[in-house]
Chain A
């Protein structure tokens, strides 16, 4: 039972354009959402998070949008850079077990120079 879904295994984007990575979740108890980036041979690194009381959070080139009614969130990267090429994981936690973070399967982003 996959509670966090990332239906696009891979995505290719031209340098300078916008990258949009999507994520869907099924557990209505989730109230905190995070994005992690992972390079080969390294552990995931935290990128940005959003609480369910918000619908948008920005940090530099990264913006996360949350649509609670659709149980959907997206990560926008503008402008995309070659160094952004990595696997991106969407993750979520519920207030009932807030330290337990559930990860999606990941989307591999390739930014083409």
Chain B
């Protein structure tokens, strides 16, 4: 079963650096959403990509940017890392317009900023 694949699984970066996280969606899905989950909190919506464009965006600064490729895979980029960016970053894929079954999530990338 080709679910959602995220890489890397863990990452340690220094404050001020830049990071790129990658996501391959579930087969048949065309929409990718990115979430940030801090310890003890629920996932917070960062943005969503559909047809290679950002369709929705949450309350995150421009340091957070993304991209979707023609094969529907996606990247999340974070520039000028802050200590507060340390979190679990979740990628979720879905089929646009399908509200019944919700998202399929990957296992996440654990980012630690030191």
Chain A residues proximal to chain B, CB less than 8 Å: 4, 6, 32, 34, 36, 41-46, 49, 51, 89, 91, 93, 97-106
Contact = CB atoms under 8 A, between A and B. Distances in A.
Instruction: State the 5 A-B residue pairs at the shortest beta-carbon distance, nearest first.
Output: A43-B105, A103-B42, A46-B102, A105-B42, A100-B56
A49 B102 contact: yes
B108 A100 contact: no
B42 A89 contact: yes
Interface string B87-102: 0001010101101111
B102 A99 contact: no
A99 B42 contact: no
Contacts, number: 67
Interface of B: 4, 31, 33, 35, 40-45, 48, 50, 55-56, 58, 90, 92, 94, 96-97, 99-108
